[in-house]
Amino acid sequence: MPSDTFSHTVKVDAPPESVAKDLQVAATWKGIGPIDEVWDATHDGANLTGFRWSARAAGKSWEGTATRTDDKKTGTMTLDLDSSEIAGALTVSYVPVDGGTALTVDLFARSKGVLAGMFWGVVADALRSGLPTQIEAFGRQF
């Protein structure tokens, strides 16, 4: 199955502790990569452990799950993404820089279904071209 990795970094004025706290809110992840909508968030205490998400593509809504897979160490947060057509992972790294935080978002995506496999070039181009704008908007939340 075809796959690609995409990455973008943005600097935000918020301190890393504030960023870490905001990443525990499922709605914060809305609009990144294939995630258009989020719901049914689950938490382990204050830590986000997962949520359901949907994406709109090819005139259809596709649903999937996001499951936290990191060990909750400071400085990174990883969500495994799974749907019928696409799977992968979103990793956010956040480090202090110049009175704020540098956020780097890495999106690994791979085709899983027949449609995504057939149209992977189009899917990958959409993810590649959309990620910088998405991460700039993501950064404005903090």
Mind listing the pLDDT tens digit for each residue in 27-53? 999 999 889 999 999 999 999 999 999
Report whether pLDDT(13) > 80: yes
Banded model confidence at residue 122, pLDDT cuts 50, 70, 90: confident
pTM over 0.85: yes
Banded model confidence at residue 135, pLDDT cuts 50, 70, 90: very high
Percent over 90 (pLDDT), the chain: 67
- At residue 82, the pLDDT reads 95
What would the mean pLDDT of 79-89 be, rounded to a whole number?
A: 91
CATH code: domain of residue 70: 3.30.530.20
Region of poorest pLDDT, from 64-78, 85-99, 106-120: 106-120
What is the end-to-end Cα distance of the chain in Å, rounded? 36
Total of domains in the chain:
1
Q: Tell me which residue range forms the domain holding 26.
A: 3-139
Banded model confidence at residue 92, pLDDT cuts 50, 70, 90: very high
